[in-house]
Structure 1
Amino acid sequence: MGKFSYSERLLVKKAIKGDVQALGKLLQKNHEYLYKMAYIYIGNKEDALDIMQEATIQSIKSIHSLKEPSYFLTWFCTIMARQASKVIDQKVKIRALQNNPAYTEPKDPSFNKNQSIDVLEAVISLDDNYRLVLQLFYYQDLSVKEISEVLAMPQGTVKTNLKRGREALRQTLGEDYYV
């Protein structure tokens, strides 16, 4: 997530003033990055696309609240994180209704040589709460306090989920990885 070019900053300013086409152009230019972030948040293609769509709708409604154009991507990713949190909450409720609390996503036992792919796969395989908190902390550079506000959970819970998520990554990846 680099700095915006002059033309992108102009698009953000136009979008803030209500130009929906400018917002669309911004989202289109940054689609690949936003999709990757959504996928990390939620862990599957369909839900990632759903949260991107919901975040787009929400961003159209609230773009006027963006104060600093250079924070557009962070602002949009925060909206996606909130949407991901809602989807995760719904999944948790559905799992509880299905009386299947021991659900785990299947893991691929083969190891890639590319360390970043290994780490990404390990993060995706984590429990939803740990994955989301780790993603916000490491990929979005949000503080514990900011994560607490975004996810509407106590700071202590955020810290606990960070610690447990790191431990789960350490167990999955082994001690050779530097995470």
Structure 2
Amino acid sequence: MDERSLIKRAIKGDMESLEELLLIHSDQLYRTAYLYVQNREDALDVVQEASYKAFIAIEQLKQEKYFLTWLTRILIHCAYSVLKKRNKEVRIEATDEIFKQQHEPTSEALLDLLDVIRTLKEKQKHAIILFYFHDLTINEISKVMKIPEGTVKTYLRRGKEKLKEKLGGDYYDEGKRIPRSL
């Protein structure tokens, strides 16, 4: 069964379809949670809490094409709740571990990029992560962050300018661009 059919069935109350959707997106949900909470246990708690909230509220989803955006927003809110409980700021200190699981550990470009992303302002960092690491569109990022699309574009532009500035012209001259999908 395709994902769109599963979403439609889940909205109508088929919890098995929602469970299957959560399994399909579990890796992405975990990686996103980990980016926010910085440790395995909290990331798993965030995914579990987001899944629970999705089960409760799935019938409120109006358009199935926004399922992943809706679910990501729930997940981010759960991550912020965990962070508030821990009374910590959102940081990206241990992203190397997650991305090494998906990419070559020797990727110099990736390591350079992660080091510089850590230095960005919080909203720029958030937009860059959602756009480049999760392949969300400007519209989807706008919905997740609850800001206008123009503001998302501004955060992305400023974040990319900072990345270019900090990575230096040589980095870009060698053809090492920010990958669209890391």
Evaluate the alpha carbon distance shift between residue 126 and residue 18 of structure 1 in structure 2; reply closer, same or farther with a 3 A threshold.
farther
Evaluate the alpha carbon distance shift between residue 130 and residue 53 of structure 1 in structure 2; reply closer, same or farther with a 3 A threshold.
farther
Which residue does the alignment assign to 2:126?
A: 132
Whether 2:58 is the aligned partner of 1:59: answer no
Aligned length: 162
Evaluate the alpha carbon distance shift between residue 95 and residue 69 of structure 1 in structure 2; reply closer, same or farther with a 3 A threshold.
closer
Deviation at 1:163, TM superposition (A): 5.4
Query: For 1:70-128, what per-residue CA distance to the aligned partner results, in whole angstroms no more than 9, with x for missing partners?
Result: 4322321222233334445x27x8259xxxxxx994898xxx54256436733763465
Deviation at 1:62, TM superposition (A): 1.5
Distance 1:68 1:156 in 2: 23
- Aligned amino acid, residue 134 of structure 1: I
CA RMSD of aligned residues (A): 4.0
- Aligned amino acid, residue 47 of structure 1: D
Deviation at 1:18, TM superposition (A): 1.5
Evaluate the alpha carbon distance shift between residue 9 and residue 154 of structure 1 in structure 2; reply closer, same or farther with a 3 A threshold.
closer
- Aligned amino acid, residue 136 of structure 1: L
- TM-score of the two chains, using structure 1 as the length reference: 0.62
Query: For 1:150-178, what per-residue CA distance to the aligned partner results, in whole angstroms no more than 9, with x for missing partners?
Result: 44568897677545643553466444142
Evaluate the alpha carbon distance shift between residue 79 and residue 159 of structure 1 in structure 2; reply closer, same or farther with a 3 A threshold.
same
Evaluate the alpha carbon distance shift between residue 117 and residue 9 of structure 1 in structure 2; reply closer, same or farther with a 3 A threshold.
same
Distance 1:71 1:41 in 2: 22
Deviation at 1:16, TM superposition (A): 0.7
Evaluate the alpha carbon distance shift between residue 105 and residue 53 of structure 1 in structure 2; reply closer, same or farther with a 3 A threshold.
same
Whether 2:137 is the aligned partner of 1:141: answer yes
- Aligned amino acid, residue 132 of structure 1: H
Whether 2:74 is the aligned partner of 1:48: answer no
Unpaired runs of 5+ residues, structure 1, are 1-5, 97-102
Q: Tell me if structure 2 keeps the 8 A contact 1:123–1:131.
A: no
Evaluate the alpha carbon distance shift between residue 84 and residue 24 of structure 1 in structure 2; reply closer, same or farther with a 3 A threshold.
same
Unpaired runs of 5+ residues, structure 2, are 97-104
2:22 match: secondary structure: helix
Write out aligned runs for 1:72-151 (5 A): 72-88=67-83, 90=84, 94-95=87-88, 105=93, 113-114=106-107, 117-118=110-111, 121-122=114-115, 125-126=118-119, 128-138=122-132, 139-143=135-139, 147=141, 150-151=144-145
